[in-house]
Amino acid sequence: MNAPCEVWTLGCVPYADSWALQKSLAADAPDRLLLLSHPHTFTLGSSADENNLVWDADERARRGVELIRIDRGGDVTYHGAGQLVVYPILHLAHETGGLRVGVVEYLRRLEQVIIGTLADYRIDAHTIPGLTGVWVETARGAEKIAAIGVRVNVRAVTQHGFAVNLNTDLDYFGGIIPCGIRDRGVTSLARLTGTTIDESGFARRVVTHFGRVFERDMIDAAPTVALSRCH
């Protein structure tokens, strides 16, 4: 029998509120998978270079984009409508110490979840050695369809996660150099397929693949805390 993992479907949540939620849940059990989206937000990871911000403060304000520096790994990325954001809160450590899944293996498994889900849509996605995220080959070259940025705290509990571009307005990526990578573009599932993606259907497929890859019994659950919603 696999360990349980609660699935919380949260809708659109302001970034700062979701970050606070992750911190509070990291001290709790059981494992949880948070499915949500954010309003327009640029986040700067722990190794971010602010030179990778293209839009200045005035332009970000004009376009309604919030800027937040956070404690995940990685550089700068964008969150917004039409994107599925997935935050696993997993306890990686055995009760007796050590890790069931190491940090590198954890990242590889997240990639497997994304690649497996995209395969359901007949999208052949892959990773690129030395670069984070999940990529697809297009007529314009390799383009990123999913960004990954995580944190594992001192108790070996995961925070942050990944974001997959489904019906995302890709113009907002013009405000940054995504993950500091200048020579590769960004795409979305809608752009690749030429159709509007059923976001809730994609989320359910992510849950299925997550349970398979991480060997968890995925259980839909109502959030036990009140959250602000996007306006």
Enumerate residues 6+ apart whose C-beta is below 8 A from 220: 6, 7, 9
Report the pLDDT value the prediction gives residue 229, as an integer from 0 to 100: 84
User: How far is the C-alpha of 216 from the C-alpha of 52, rounded, in Å?
Assistant: 37
Q: Is residue 230 part of a domain?
A: no
The CA-to-CA distance between both ends of the chain, in Å, stands at 41
**How many Cα atoms are found within 13 Å in the side-chain-facing hemisphere of 227?**
26
Q: Is residue 195 part of a domain?
A: yes
Give the tens place of pLDDT for each residue, 2-16. 889 999 999 999 999
Q: Is residue 225 part of a domain?
A: no
What's the pLDDT band for 183 if we cut at 50, 70, 90?
Answer: confident
What's the pLDDT band for 96 if we cut at 50, 70, 90?
Answer: low
Q: Is residue 40 part of a domain?
A: yes
User: How far is the C-alpha of 136 from the C-alpha of 146, rounded, in Å?
Assistant: 10
Catalytic annotation present for 230:
no
Q: Is residue 142 part of a domain?
A: yes
Which residues constitute the domain of residue 146?
3-220
What's the pLDDT band for 98 if we cut at 50, 70, 90?
Answer: low
Q: What's the CATH number where 182 sits?
A: 3.30.930.10
The active-site residue out of 5, 12, 179, 230 is 179
Among 7-11, 58-62, 181-185, the least confident range:
181-185
Q: Looking at the 3D structure of the chain, how many domains does it have? A: 1
Q: What average pLDDT score do residues 40-68 get?
A: 95
Q: What average pLDDT score do residues 194-218 get?
A: 97
Instruction: Indicate the pairing of strand 3-12 with strand 31-37.
Output: parallel
On whether the pTM is more than 0.85, the answer is: yes
